[in-house]
Structure 1
C-alpha cells in the first residue's frame, strides 16, 4: 500500500531520517528549464526538511514549502534558520486548501515541484490537475521521482512505473522527460488540457465469464485502471 500514515512520517523525521540528497543533475535541469522569472513564486509539495525549497529560493523564487508532517517542518526551520525566501506550511495537499499568497503578492505559482513524493499521493491525477490549475501563464509543474526500473523490488512503493509516469502527463499540453542519475524528471506545462480517449478496438475475449464493478467515493470520483493494453477500464476479474 502506497499511502503512508501521517504518524509514520512523523516518526521518520523524529528519528532523524531523510531522503536522497538533491543532486547536481536535478539542480542543473531546474536551472535550465524553470529559471525563476522576476517576482517568481514556487510551491514545493512534500517539502520534507526543505532542501529543494531552499534551492528554489536561492534560484530567485519566493517559495511556499508544504508538508503534512510537522516533524519535517520543525527540522526544516532548524536546518535553514537564515532562509528568508521560504514560508514553511503544514498542510495535507490531498485534503486541505492550497496556501493563500501573502497580501502583497498575486495569486498563482510560476513553478510547482513534487520531489520524491508523487508515489505516495493516493488521488494522484486529481491532485496534479488541481496543482496545475494553480500555475500562472507559462508556469510549470515539475515531478521528480524514482523509477521502478532503477528501484529494488523491496522499495517498489517509492517509485513509479512507465504507465504511472504516462498518466502523470495526462491533461498537460507539453511534457518533457529527463533523467537525473536514475530519477525521472517530468517538466509539464499547459495545464487544463483535456484527456483524450482513444478507441483501440474490441479486444479478443480472454474469458468465458467476466465481472466488473463501479467504485466511487464521497467526492463522486470513479475508480479506473489502465490495462496492460493501455486502455482505461473498470476494475474487474475474469
Structure 2
C-alpha cells in the first residue's frame, strides 16, 4: 500500500465502527456479531500471546516474573495491555486512535485496572517511564516503515537500561500478497482496472507494510540492544519476526 495513505485516520475510523475485528480480522469479532461470550473470548486470546512473549523473554534473557512498568504499543482495545498490566505495578497503552482508546478504557474500568494509562504516542508515554518491558505485536505492520522506524526508536528510548523488548515486524510476503509494484504484469493490470472503477478510497482500510529487517536490527543495535533473538511468524502469508531484545544496562 502507498505510504501516502493516512493510516492514523484509518484506525480511528475502524475503532469507531469495528474495533475488535480490526484487531483480529476474524468474522467472529465483527461488531454485529459481538456478544458477551465472544467479547470475553477475544480478550482471553491476549493472555496466550503475552504468555508466549513473556516466556521467551524469561528463556532468552532471564526476565523477571513481574515488572515495575510495562508499555504496549498499538494497544487497541486492550487485548494485550490487560495481561501485561496484570504482570506489572503500572502499565501504559499507546494507540494513535482515540476511538480505540475509548473502547480500551471501558475494559480497564470494568476490570478495575486503575494503574493503567492510555496515551496517543510513545513520546507521551515517556512521561510514565522508563519501562521494564515494551511490547508491540501485529501493529507496526500497519504503519509505513519510514514512520515505523522512527516509532521503534522512540519505543527503545523509553526502555530502562536492563529492560526488555518484544517487537513484531513483517518483512516479506507470499507471492499472491505482493504489492502492486512487485506483482506480475497481469496482477498489476487487474489492480489498475479495479482502481479506475473504484474512485473513492476505502474507508478504514487496513494497510500492510513490510520492513527491512536489517534496518530494524541496526536501529536496535545502535540504541543499546546489541543482542536479540528472532522467531519467525507467518500470518496468512505475511511473514515476519518477533524480535526479543534486552537493552544494555548502564
Both structures adopt the same fold (TM-score exceeding 0.5): yes
Partner of 2:10: 8
* Deviation of 1:51 (Å): 0.8
Of residues 60, 72, 81, the one that matches 2:100 is 72
Query: For each residue in 1:140-184, what CA deviation from the matched residue of structure 2 results, as whole angstroms up to 9, or x when unmatched?
Result: 122123442358335872443544554454422111111355552
Query: Following the alignment from structure 1 to structure 2, what is the Cα–Cα distance between the partners of residues 126 and 6?
Result: 15
* Deviation of 1:52 (Å): 0.9
Q: 3-state SS of the aligned residue for 2:173?
A: helix
Partner of 2:140: 118
* CA spacing shift, 1:86–1:70, aligned 2, 3 Å: farther
Q: How many residues align structurally?
A: 186
Of residues 167, 174, 178, the one that matches 2:227 is 174
- 8 A contact 2:132–2:164 mirrored in 1: yes
Q: Runs of 5+ in structure 1 lacking a partner?
A: 102-106, 194-238
Query: Following the alignment from structure 2 to structure 1, what is the Cα–Cα distance between the partners of residues 49 and 234?
Result: 7
Q: What RMSD, in angstroms, separates the aligned Cα atoms of the two structures?
A: 3.3
Q: Runs of 5+ in structure 2 lacking a partner?
A: 25-44, 180-205
Spell out structure 1 runs of 4+ moving beyond 6 A: none
Partner of 1:100: 127
- 8 A contact 2:156–2:220 mirrored in 1: no
Judge which range, 136-145 or 79-88, deviates more: 79-88
Partner of 2:80: 52
- With the length of structure 1 as denominator, give the TM-score of the two structures: 0.63
* CA spacing shift, 1:38–1:27, aligned 2, 3 Å: closer
Query: Following the alignment from structure 2 to structure 1, what is the Cα–Cα distance between the partners of residues 22 and 48?
Result: 18
Q: Which has the higher helix share?
A: 2
- 8 A contact 2:162–2:249 mirrored in 1: no
Partner of 1:131: 155
Of residues 116, 120, 137, the one that matches 1:87 is 116
The structure showing larger relative contact order (alpha-carbon pairs under 8 Å, at least 6 residues apart) is: 2
- With the length of structure 2 as denominator, give the TM-score of the two structures: 0.61
